[in-house]
Amino acid sequence: MTDMPIKGSCHCGAVTFEVGRPDFLVSCNCSICRRYRTLWTHCPPNTGVIHAGDGATLQYVWGDKELAFHSCKTCGCTTHWTGLTNDRFALNLALADPADIEGIRIRHFDGADTWEFLD
């Protein structure tokens, strides 16, 4: 284990992020996360930062309009979501080096039905 932050980026590097090593990652089965194939780490409780220039991402908002999913405008990778009703955000650690997230527990979340963790 390391105390070094985990870094990730979209394919072209226009959007980068870093976060402290989380206790777990979230694999959600809701209709959008299932399609994006993301591994989320939420901030808070984790401390993370997103680096992207103005206009670097496209936002997609749907459903209850509480989250905006961000994808790089250049390469299309889904990098993070931001809360529209609060200051929360989540980073897609599927975009980190696999070696950097090795050994982090993946929790499966039922965002399609019960809104509960399945473990």
What is residue 17's predicted lDDT score, i.e. its pLDDT?
A: 98
The CATH number, out of the four listed (3.30.930.10, 3.30.830.10, 3.40.50.10860, 2.170.150.70), of the domain defined by the range 6-117: 2.170.150.70
Q: What is the DSSP letter of 22?
A: P
Q: Kindly report, residue by residue over 38-77, the tens digit of the pLDDT.
A: 999 999 999 999 999 999 999 999 999 999 999 999 999 9
Q: Which neighbouring-strand residues pair with 110?
A: 116
Domain locations in the chain? 6-117
3-state DSSP call for residue 18? strand
Q: Tell me the pTM.
A: 0.94
Question: CA-CA distance, 101 to 110, in Å (whole number)?
Answer: 22
In this structure, are residues 50 and 18 in contact, taking their beta carbons and an 8 Å threshold?
Answer: no
